[in-house]
Amino acid sequence: MKKILNAAIRFFLYLVLIAPLLLFGVYAFSERWFFPDVLPSTWSTAPFLRLFSDPKTVGGLLTSIGIALVVSLFSLIVAFPAARTLGLRRFPGRQFAWLLFFLPTVVPPLAVGMGMNILFLRLDLAGSFVGVILSHLVPTLPYTIFTLSGLFANYDENYEYQAIVLGASKRRTFFNVTLRLVFPGLIVAGLFAFLISWSQYLLTLLIGGGKVLTLPMLLFSAVSGGNPSTIAALSLLFIAPPVLVIALTARQLNQHGNAIKEQY
Amino acid sequence: MRKLIALLILSVFALSACTSIVQTQIVSSESFDINNWDSIVAAANGQTVNWYIWGGSESINSFVDNFYGEALKDRYNITLNRVPVADTVDAVNQVLSEKQAGKDPGAVDLIWINGENFATLKQADLLYRDWANKLPNSQYVNWDNPAINRDFGTPVDFQESPWSSAQFQFIYDSARMQPEELPRSYAQLKNWAIKNPGRFTYIAPGPGAFQGTRFVKGALFEISGGADQWATFDQTTWDKWSPELWAYFNEIKPYLWRQGETYPKDENELHSLFANKEVDFSITQAIVGAGALVEQGLVPQTSKAFVFEDYMIGDFNYVGIPSNAPNKAAALVLANLILEPEFQAAQILPENGFGLGFGIDINQVTDTASTTLLADASKKLGDAATSPSDLAKSLVGDSAAQYQSLIEEGWRQYVLLNSK
């Protein structure tokens, strides 16, 4: 009995998760789908063909991927030393540093974005890829720092000392010991950064000033037009890369997780 | 939300304007004489024009890319960079922020604009001045028409150039109703709504939903017996007629979709209610009537447009050039290209996907080939459109701008929030 109940609850939860996606799938391949038809009267691949024949969509997709990848990388590079110190050391002003790093998640993005826009315009960074990437670092850093510092809180520095005692150089210690130990955490933190950068609309709009066109901007303007097939097709395109990235890294994570377990 | 951004930027802008000395203006390097068209075309050669344009309609996007983009490249060696924005206010915000940061040249060359967005930029003195009448094709524009030389009551002063026109119309489904069953006035609409409870609704009037405001204004015109008296603002006229206006909307309220407790917030929501057979009428501004919507698959294929006998408000929309536009010459060439009779003829045809009306006055076109082209296009609007003679017969201009907010606030207070 309990088993059946469990299965039912599980099925229901899956349904709630997947139903909107299924609906998107149907909408994306439909032409006219009005109440009371249960299924679209005409099926069509036209919405997708239109998307892929539009250079702006393809360009937006590539721009989005490029920006999100660079942002994840930078975010990790900046967050790594900060997280290591915050996770491993106790020092005066540590709480204050935490607060500072978390400020961007508390302050409304609109306020941050507008101030940044004026500043970037003065620095001649607005409307450029560099500007957009820098602006994306603001909301991504708190998440990467938090994820990585959690990792360092349980990190045993003695592994590094061991390597040094055995004669490994600093570089070798970093790449062969430190990086390997924190690798799964790095992936998770990088994933966070990727997803947050991927879904940025406001900052890209304000800082990019229309010159840097990403997928969310195309999606927002399509939503304002209200054509359900186009919105559905664009949404599916929008969620595909993150899902792909998660699927790929999930496998990586598992492998590394197992490898680490074996080591211990 | 975007309005809020605009307001915030404007207020910051105003503050900083008070405190700081005017930023040093970097004179843009391109040189042309606004009175010499050849010098403009020469300066535009090789430029890229950044056109900020509402990107919500795929068919409009592809019309812009295919028709203007290719012609600009072939004829003038200009590259068109269409920048899609979710709302024109985003482009306005961009220009306001640039001004505040003292950035000249900026990023925006041309904006598809009208109404309050135009008023905002004009008031902040951020528009390029005295150019619209210098375009060669400005000869086709009827600048004497108050519907053109005033944009929602704001004098245009040649700071924007017309692109196309629109007129308020209704849409019905010919599979559900016959033409003779359609209401032809606000009075008849009331009777129809009472007989068919729950089958009618309109777009809630408010900023950004001008179609709803326009619907209410039409009723004001009919109830007061004329549109002309509303062209200039007069508080006593408003005080006299507004109670009757609210009485009309409160009378039909219980017979509306969901008893008038909620209203669709924009055209798309109303189209969707109409397409899903929850209500029997939708609203459009397009000269092709339901044509473009049918092509996009947003409404049933049997949808058609119709108008009342009178008080169907029409207006124009424009393109404007910010004063800090980096490629003014190319923007001028594009604004002129838009007015070419061949593109004006192309923009009204339903299959081309733009679907709004002429920006020029076809009576001012003299060359025979162009006249034939324009006349042919008018004939090919398709049966989803209202006939041009019906449109012309019912056409009235918009009211003075002051009534806009009076109607929107009054409707909220006396109709939406009225629980009786």
| H/E segment holding residue A69 | helix A55-88
CB contact under 8 A, A127 and B107: yes
**pLDDT tops 90 at residue A55:** no
Q: Does the beta carbon of A122 lie under 8 angstroms from any beta carbon of chain B?
A: yes
pLDDT at B47: 95
Interface test with A, best of B4, B87, B97 (most A CBs within 10 A): B97
Q: In this predicted model, which residue has the larger pLDDT, B376 or A133? A: A133
CATH class of A55-263: mainly alpha
Mutation choice for B interface testing from A44, A125, A227, A230 by most B CBs within 10 A: A227
Contacts of A226 in chain B (CB under 8 A): 56, 266-269, 271-272, 298
**CB contacts, 8 Å: A234 with chain B:** none
Write the CA distances from B187 to A222, B184, B270, integer angstroms. Answer: 37, 8, 22
Average pLDDT estimate for A225-235 = 86
CA A47 to chain centre: 26
Residue A259, pLDDT score: 55
Three-state secondary structure call for residue B125: coil
pLDDT at B89: 87
Q: HSE on the CB side for B239, CA within 13 Å?
A: 3
Q: Do B56 and A224 touch (CB under 8 A)?
A: yes
Q: What is the pLDDT of residue B11?
A: 62
B9 and A114 within 8 Å at the Cβ level: the answer is yes
3-class secondary-structure state, position B375: helix
Q: Which residue has the tokens 């057979």?
A: B277
pLDDT (tens digit, 9 = 90+) per residue, A149-188?
Answer: 988 988 989 999 999 999 999 999 999 999 998 988 899 8
Q: Which residue has the tokens 């937006």?
A: A60
- Residue A51, pLDDT score: 85
- DSSP letters of B274-311? HHTTSSS-EEE--TTTTHHHHHTTSS-TTEEEE--SS-
Q: Does B8 sit within 8 Å of A221, measured CB to CB?
A: no
How far apart are the C-alpha atoms of A215 and A60, rounded to whole Å? 5
- Locate B318 and state its tokens: 């424009």
Separation between Cα atoms, residue A188 and residue B215, nearest integer Å: 53
User: What per-residue confidence (pLDDT) applies to B1?
Assistant: 55
Strands across the sheet containing B303-306: B282-284, B169-173, B303-306
pLDDT-derived band at A45, boundaries 50, 70, 90: confident
Contacts of B41 (CB under 8 A, 6+ apart): B76, B329, B333
Distances (CA, A) of B215 to B204, B261, B305, B419: 9, 18, 15, 21
Please compute the mean of the pLDDT values over residues A39-57 and round it to a whole number. Answer: 84
Beta bridge partners of B283: B170
Q: Is B35 exposed, middle or buried (0-12, 13-18, 19+ CB in 10 A)?
A: exposed
d(CA B286, CA B207): 20
| Among A49-58, A73-82, A89-98, the range of highest mean pLDDT | A73-82
Q: How far is CA B191 from CA B188, B195, B197, B200, in A?
A: 5, 6, 10, 11
Q: Which residues contact A86 (CB under 8 A, 6 or more apart)?
A: A94, A97, A98, A101, A145, A149, A152
The pLDDT confidence band at residue A73, using thresholds 50, 70 and 90, is very high
Q: Which residues of A touch B85 (CB under 8 A)?
A: 210, 221
pLDDT value of residue B27: 40
Q: Do A205 and B90 touch (CB under 8 A)?
A: yes
Residue of B nearest to A234 (CA): B58
Of A118, A217, A229, the CB nearest to B100: A118
Rounded to 10 degrees, what is the CA torsion of B263, B266, B268, B271? 50
Instruction: Pick the closest to residue B305 from B281, B291, B289 (CA basis).
Output: B289
Query: Which of B56, B85, B278 is the closest to A210 by Cβ?
Result: B85
Q: Is residue A9 exposed (0-12), middle (13-18) or buried (19+ Cβ within 10 Å)?
A: exposed
| Closest of B237, B272, B212, B227 to residue B416, by C-alpha | B212
Q: pLDDT means per 10 residues in chain B (420 residues)?
A: 63 50 41 93 95 88 93 96 88 91 91 90 95 96 89 90 95 94 96 96 87 94 92 92 96 95 91 94 91 86 94 94 96 97 92 88 90 88 85 86 89 88
From the candidates B11, B64, B81, B90, which should be mutated to test the interface with A, based on the most A CB atoms within 10 A? B90
CA distances from B296 to B74, B202, B416 (A): 29, 22, 32
CA A221 to chain centre: 21
Report the gap between the CA of B420 and the closest CA in chain A (Å): 32
Query: Given this model, what pLDDT does residue B400 score?
Result: 81
- For B57, which of A205, A225, A229 is closest by C-beta distance? A225
Beta-carbon separation of A122 and B102 below 8 A: yes
CB < 8 Å to B297, chain A: 31-32, 227, 229
Contact A210/B98, CB-based, under 8 Å?
Answer: no
Q: Which two tokens stand for residue A254?
A: 């598992």
For the beta carbon of residue A176, count every other beta carbon within 10 angstroms: 13
DSSP character at residue B23: P
Q: What is the pLDDT of residue B26?
A: 39
The predicted structure's pLDDT at residue A230: 86
- Write the residue in A211, A225, A229 that is nearest to B297 by C-beta: A229
Domain boundaries, chain A: 1-44, 55-263
Out of A32, A121, A221, closest to residue B98 by CB: A121
